[in-house]
Structure 1
């Protein structure tokens, strides 16, 4: 969304505020490398993405601010366009928000865009879908430049076998076999709208979208697909593991290094107001 449009909406919001409105809502898109953080959620005694953002935004707003994200990434997991929101009484032009917040963030966290939203927008509870990409670098030698930004597998992987298993993921399923023991969700059924696994040069990429994800769900699915790619399992084992609804029957969790939260989607009344951000990681140079 062009900045002048953002600024006009902000001015309108400011006008409402001066007419006794208590606050207004801003959505933002966040890019981060999760390598040095213990995930999104604020925690005691360890640094998190949420804490770093809240500190920066609160400083620019000159008031305490809570940032709510569309998802909660794990330690070492990255994001290219994590949609989040905060509520504030402070008016700032879009340019001032972006420059001010980014000047206070570390180099591995950046706000890509910021956009005023209706008061009933909620980045987490209004999201109807979330999308991830998982990137494997499948080559004999480890990477240097992409260290901790991909999952390196030195053994040759059988892409066709992995794709055969991937075809079983789409639809509504009980994903208990791919759910972490610490998962706090009150039910394990999720609807996967697409799951695509493909080769891109030396990379193997999973692009997966669902109405929601369980704790470690994507990484646990990838752990099983990697085992299939190494011929430790056969593709039909995936369906059997899924049917057992038991985490102990599935292979270990894949590394968080290759996982990227790339977008969240909302009903049209909200989605039409959000910028159409390019999908990440940009260095893959993938079509949308």
Structure 2
């Protein structure tokens, strides 16, 4: 509960959720959202409304293994007890993985330096019921070599207008230029995983990249066409927007903002989105240069 006379403290947390039954992250009147259920759980503990900020506003149906959030609350409850209390009140499709006190000025959106998204494609004609909520099933085996060749041109700082579905719900005042740090593709059994790490993303950008690379993998387009699509700056040139269910926000790296007029050494702290006992399925990202956060939903 909130304590009279207690000074507000800033908290930083990592949140995991199955996005299937949520209408995205952001609070919407009359709709079930991740932000909504988290703020309701906090209010029930602290007897006060506590706004929660996220590093990225995931869209309806998109999942998260490591969504970074922050909030300020006047409470004397230790972080570990607050995390336990939240998990006892959150629905089964959302959970706090870690929670700690942060510097007073920490802001999950502004302090995010990069994000890692993973898109999962299930190859083949055989349905996999246990994977239906987290994968896009494509009925053929994709050509991984061609997809990797096509993806090389996406790494770096580019205008990704061809991979944006509209300006997004709230527009994008920073234009359409973003910096992608890496694009990895790998196969494990019948699952093909696309991972994209970037300093910021446009609305539906990762899903548009996934849809475009699948066209290449199916043999419908040559790998070189992706560079042409990038140069076109026209959404109509790219492939389809892949379904939301295959996309997951894996992790968020954060750190202090860039100092004007002075170069900073690369890097940003990343909270591990999974308990230590679990084996990591994704290798840690390499060192990176800090950059502006992306506020759109990939």
Short-chain TM bin: 0.7 to 0.9
Q: Does 1:163 align with 2:148?
A: yes
SS class of match (2:36): helix
* Structure 1 unaligned residues grouped into runs of 5+: 1-13
Q: CA–CA distance in 1 between the matches of 2:268 and 2:176?
A: 27
After TM superposition, give the deviation of residue 182 of structure 1 in Å: 3.7
Change (3 A) 1:21 1:104: closer
Q: CA–CA distance in 1 between the matches of 2:273 and 2:88?
A: 21
After TM superposition, give the deviation of residue 185 of structure 1 in Å: 1.2
Change (3 A) 1:227 1:284: farther
Cα RMSD, aligned residues only: 2.3
Change (3 A) 1:179 1:262: same
After TM superposition, give the deviation of residue 139 of structure 1 in Å: 2.2
Q: Does 1:276 align with 2:263?
A: no
SS class of match (1:116): strand
CA contact (8 A) 1:39 1:76 kept: yes
SS class of match (1:212): coil
CA contact (8 A) 1:39 1:74 kept: yes
* Structure 2 unaligned residues grouped into runs of 5+: 258-266, 285-298
CA contact (8 A) 2:65 2:273 kept: no
Pairwise mapping of residues 31-46 of structure 1 onto structure 2 (< 5 A)? 31-46=16-31
CA contact (8 A) 1:142 1:154 kept: no
Q: CA–CA distance in 2 between the matches of 1:223 and 1:266?
A: 29
Change (3 A) 1:106 1:278: closer
Q: CA–CA distance in 1 between the matches of 2:30 and 2:48?
A: 23
Pairwise mapping of residues 186-197 of structure 1 onto structure 2 (< 5 A)? 186=173, 187-197=175-185
SS class of match (1:25): strand
- Equivalence for 1:54: 39
Scaled by the length of structure 2, the TM-score of the pair is 0.84
User: How many corresponding residue pairs?
Assistant: 269
